[in-house]
Structure 1
């Protein structure tokens, strides 16, 4: 190992991934036990409820999933009558996704669960620390997006 590099566990990206894995596991369990949804389905329902109408590509971006995962989750939500699929006005091959009446009700429960999970995860930080962290994340996300566009 190189003397000038810190140990793996000291890298921010490693720690973010670790936090993500830990929180995803608990969130997935909560989605399943409290709502009867898989994590991908819950993320997609949250995105559709918030940003509808969405194409599958837009859904993938909003739910932070790849297109195949978003497509499978959307299809499961359609099969459960939580999401309606309609032809896209601007793309004959595309579809748009919107929540059904029962989907809107479950969306509200998903959002309450997300809110509770955020309170659980970030509850160890003061309100001021949480605002600072939000600012840091906003800056990091904007920076990563700029880098993504440039490359």
Structure 2
């Protein structure tokens, strides 16, 4: 970029727009999880991840729920205190724990998943089915590409 060329507008960057979309949809999700289930968004994400991928360690839960380990640990503990999640000792890691849904947690997990499904239909309903499939494929490629980068690496600079 030449010295006298202005930088691109911030709102034109794809990462900016993805983040903006995520924040807009998060606000609505936060309200829905709190009003319908009495859960915070982190707790709802953890419940969804545990129900989908159990058994999970706290580290794996953090990765699946897109939270840091401390957030995942606090959310998991709250779910345990509400008898939605069972925390037991790991058979493979003496210091670790394994998280699973309880009998009380399973029906709530199903309701949370139904809400997620409705939220997705609402958010992406403005796209045709073909456009949704294209977007899903592109997002999958971007996620795989981002995962392939070594953690902490930054893009090459000119």
Shorter-normalised TM range: over 0.9
Alpha-carbon separation, structure 2, partners of 1:82 and 1:69: 17
Aligned length: 151
The equivalent residue for 1:67 is 69
Alpha-carbon separation, structure 1, partners of 2:79 and 2:112: 13
* Match 1:52 to one of 48, 51, 54: 54
User: What secondary structure sits across from 1:92 in the alignment?
Assistant: coil
Once the two structures are superposed, the pairs formed by residues 9-48 of structure 1 within 5 Å of their partners are 9-48=11-50
The equivalent residue for 1:108 is 110
The equivalent residue for 1:95 is 97
Shift of 1:149: 5.2
| Gapped regions of structure 1 (runs ≥ 5) | none
User: What secondary structure sits across from 1:77 in the alignment?
Assistant: helix
Alpha-carbon separation, structure 2, partners of 1:53 and 1:140: 27
- Normalised by the length of structure 1, the TM-score is 0.96
The equivalent residue for 2:119 is 117
Alpha-carbon separation, structure 2, partners of 1:66 and 1:81: 23
- Normalised by the length of structure 2, the TM-score is 0.92
The equivalent residue for 2:148 is 146
Larger Rg: 2
- The structure richer in helix per residue is 1
User: What secondary structure sits across from 1:148 in the alignment?
Assistant: coil
CA RMSD of aligned residues (A): 1.4
Shift of 1:5: 2.6
Structure 1 stretch displaced more, 1-10 or 69-78 = 1-10
| Gapped regions of structure 2 (runs ≥ 5) | 154-158
